[in-house]
Amino acid sequence: MELTYQIDQIAVTVQGDEANEFTTGDAVVLAKAYDDLILEQSWGAEGYTIVDAQEAFDFTEVKRDITKILRSIIAELSPTTDVNGFSLERYHHYVDDAMHYAVIGKTRRLYPQDFGFDEQRLVGFLSRLLGTDLGYMNPVFKANQWIIVRINRPHTVGYNPIHKDIYELHDGFGDIPRMANVWIPICGVEGRTGLPIAPCSHLVPEDQVSRTKAGSVMEGQRYSVNCIETWGGDNQLQTMCPNQGEMLVFSSHLIHGLGRNHHDDTTRISLEFRLYEQAEN
């Protein structure tokens, strides 16, 4: 089956799969039922904000760390590849499909200590922004959440279906902690190449959200996340393109995905992670 969305008023159709089973839930707004942290913010009704992140991190430092990480992963996987002129924007010149999948196998689970930048400064900034103590510790898993370096080569699949992050915890563990999604553009994020989100979609009751459980199939690939077809009869998304040195902070209940790379010769790279409210001790 085909899935159609309006992204920035342009119709986008992706191929779903017979394996996707769409259902709706109860007449409840999960963001309200689980006391979403974002609802307490002045921008809580929209569910997202773009903030100047100069106090949170040094963009040059973060980009340098990611360049170093990717260069060494490529050098390790393929010792014969000359990585001297390597840059993030031209990443796709250094990898074929097989190599790319080997690289993202490593970059989808990185931890703060894998980077050199001052991540405590970043966590402190976000804690002040959202008015509570945040950290990487997922209180449901009792383990530290990872950071993803998301790499999208030009004109390739590999972006997530339209989804909500909370469903994995809701469906699998019957709980949704207070948390927030953070998305930081590193390179190739401009024009139509950003992150599409559906503002206000975290307030649509579940009986109006048609969606699968985790493990949806799109364009022949299986994804760990769920897939949402429509919400409140809507299928519209808006692409967010924060500038370098800015970041997008949004509710984990907000609908987002299909971050396609429309560039011809620039790889798109972003940092993605979630922070959780830490229990008071």
- Tell me the two tokens of residue 50: 């773009």
Shortest Å distance, C-beta 27 to Fe ion: 24
Shortest Å distance, C-beta 94 to Fe ion: 27
With respect to Fe ion, which residue has the nearer C-beta, 36 or 165?
165
Q: Which of residues 129-168 bind Fe ion (CB under 5 A)?
A: 165
With respect to Fe ion, which residue has the nearer C-beta, 5 or 86?
5
Strands (E) located in the chain: 2-7, 10-15, 48-52, 134-135, 137-138, 143-144, 147-152, 179-187, 195-198, 209-211, 217-218, 221-222, 228-231, 236-240, 246-251, 255-256, 268-277
DSSP string, 150-177: EEE-TT---PPPSB-THHHHHHHHS---
Residue closest to 86 by CA, chosen among 74, 76, 97: 74
Shortest Å distance, C-beta 183 to Fe ion: 9
Q: Mask: binding to Fe ion, 37-66, rule CB under 5 A, as x and -?
A: ------------------------------
Shortest Å distance, C-beta 181 to Fe ion: 6
Q: Which of residues 161-220 bind Fe ion (CB under 5 A)?
A: 165
**# residues contacting Fe ion (CB under 5 A):** 1
Shortest Å distance, C-beta 222 to Fe ion: 16
Contact 248, 182 (CB under 8 A): yes
Query: Which residues touch 84 (CB under 8 Å, ≥6 apart)?
Result: none
Helices 97-107 and 59-77, interaxial angle, to 10°?
130
Residue closest to 131 by CA, chosen among 34, 57, 42, 200: 42
**CB-closest chain residue to Fe ion:** 165
Q: What is the residue whose two structure tokens read 């370098």? A: 244
For residue 273, the cross-strand partners are 147, 182
Shortest Å distance, C-beta 256 to Fe ion: 6
- Tell me the two tokens of residue 243: 């500038």
Shortest Å distance, C-beta 163 to Fe ion: 6
Question: Three-state DSSP class for 213?
Answer: coil
Judged by the rule CB under 5 A, the positions of this chain that interact with Fe ion are 165
